[in-house]
Amino acid sequence: MSKKVITISREFGSGGRTIARMVAERLGYAFYDKALVERIAKESGYSEDFIERRGEDATSTSSFLFNLARSGSGGYEGVSGISDKLYVIQHNLIKRLPEEGPCVIVGRCSDYILKDFEDSLHVFIYADTQFKADRIVRLYGEREDLPEKRLEEKDKKRKVYYKNYTGRVWGMSTNYDISLNSGKIGVENCADIIVDLATRR
Amino acid sequence: MSKKVITISREFGSGGRTIARMVAERLGYAFYDKALVERIAKESGYSEDFIERRGEDATSTSSFLFNLARSGSGGYEGVSGISDKLYVIQHNLIKRLPEEGPCVIVGRCSDYILKDFEDSLHVFIYADTQFKADRIVRLYGEREDLPEKRLEEKDKKRKVYYKNYTGRVWGMSTNYDISLNSGKIGVENCADIIVDLATRR
């Protein structure tokens, strides 16, 4: 049975987004990265730029899960803050995406949101610091901050965001069906493995 | 470049040991599971049964890394307790194994001990509770304790042991080169992926 939905979570600089795009192209699946931001913008009324800034790299001071628990009803009453509102819109949108057809979704807690979707494959891509540092300098250029610092800051935010909205530890193997070190295995090989797994049996 | 050493860490009941054996057979590599216990017994003078009981599933009250740091020299002075002594013998043995030829090693912090060995592939195998519970009942039979409790106790000990001797969190993707959910992907498919990765380029 082929996998209709593939979620790809990734460390910054690991090539996870590139792998996701390759997989989507090879399988002919819809690709939700930038396209997801556009959809969230359309549904929420916020600008794409604003959503990028308040997205999965944003830090939040309050605990979404705590607020949700406090609201008692299991609904969204009591949820406060723009980040939380954006998360709810994003959550509901991602939940509906598989109905529209096979797709590859990058990040945004999609592994958690679609964890109970049967025909899914949840992937985590990471790499050693040196591989990621070289990659972000090559792709995004030099900045004032050292690449190692840029990596650390970005992933720290993703970790906090993920913990806040899922209650899980970002990067734990058991959150995903497969985790791959793209630096060691190679970006192309990672895409090969995922395509093979998605179409096998 | 093919991988000369494959370490396979695994949740209890995930089929990780079976996968490791399949990989070793298909690649014609030495297989260190029971054979590793025999070697440790030979080098330490302790019985195999004793080593099994004081091995990676043993809980320890003292922190090995703390004792090591306190000893100051980076050597093994100040290390106390039979578990620690066994760990040191095991550590030195695993470190030397690649010199004897290509091999597959199951558990025992081998991923950590050989993390800097270049031609290596470090694998983590895990699965959902239901898959593991069904598997241990089928393989090891019913016991007084519920299978879910047996799983939890065994893995909790492995987690503590690993943390104590490596300082790392057991099951974090970044400890390994690839992590696979054997329940979702299938035991045979996991072996296929590992053999393919070990022989690729």
Which pLDDT tens digits describe chain A residue by residue (201 residues)? Answer: 689 999 999 999 999 999 999 999 999 999 999 899 999 999 888 899 888 877 776 665 556 665 565 555 444 444 457 888 889 999 999 999 999 999 999 999 999 999 999 999 999 999 999 999 999 999 998 888 899 999 999 999 999 999 999 999 999 999 999 999 999 999 999 999 999 999 986
Token pair listed for B67: 């004792």
Task: Report the alpha-carbon distance of residue A16 to residue A27 in Å, rounded.
Answer: 16
Taking the Cβ of residue A129 and every Cβ of chain B, the question of whether any pair is shorter than 8 Å is answered with no
Q: What is the mean pLDDT of chain A?
A: 89
CB B123 within 8 A of CB B6: yes
Find chain A residues with C-beta within 8 A of B177's C-beta. 180-181, 184-185
What ipTM is given for this predicted complex?
A: 0.88
Taking the Cβ of residue A193 and every Cβ of chain B, the question of whether any pair is shorter than 8 Å is answered with yes
Select from B192, B106, B122, B9 the least CA-distant residue to A183: B122
pTM: 0.90
Q: What is the pLDDT of residues A78-123, one digit of tens each?
A: 445 788 888 999 999 999 999 999 999 999 999 999 999 999 999 9
Find chain A residues with C-beta within 8 A of B201's C-beta. 186
Taking the Cβ of residue B173 and every Cβ of chain A, the question of whether any pair is shorter than 8 Å is answered with yes
> Could you give the domains of chain A?
5-199 (3.40.50.300)
* CB nearest B179 (choices: A179, A189, A200): A179
SS3 for A101? coil
End-to-end CA distance of chain A: 5
Find chain A residues with C-beta within 8 A of B171's C-beta. 172-174
CB B178 within 8 A of CB A185: yes
